[in-house]
Amino acid sequence: MKGLKELLISLIDILGLACWVEISTDKPRCTYYFGPFLSKKEAEAAIAGYLEDLEQEGAQGIGYGIKRCKPDNLTIFDEVGEMAHRGSAPVFSGQM
């Protein structure tokens, strides 16, 4: 039965219909995706564990939600936002 469920999750994920937990943090400025899940109810049941892990790692300003999507990246680090938060500005090639 477990193999059938995993196959079904893979199929709905390919179609972009799977549920994913999206968690964003201010420090570090990141967006994380956890999943895929077959249903919103299953995703909701998993949120507490992900939040606990991020809190233990020192993440701050945590927000979360559940969405049907197909994320290209499971972790998105906002480097420009991090630099602005630290009071720095990015230096691009060709700038003085």
18-71 per-position pLDDT tens digit:
999 999 999 999 999 999 999 999 999 999 999 999 999 999 999 999 999 999
Q: Does the residue 7 lie in any domain?
A: yes
- Give the chain's domain count: 1
Give the pLDDT of residue 2. Answer: 77
Could you tell me how many helices (H) and strands (E) the chain has, helices first?
A: 3, 4
For 2, which DSSP code?
A: H
Q: Does the residue 95 lie in any domain?
A: no
Say if pTM beats, i.e. exceeds, 0.95: no
Q: Which residue has the higher pLDDT, 81 or 16?
A: 16
Q: Is the pLDDT of residue 87 over 90?
A: no
Domain of 42 in residue numbering reads as: 2-85
Do residues 36 and 6 make contact, with C-beta atoms less than 8 angstroms apart? no
Q: Does the residue 96 lie in any domain?
A: no
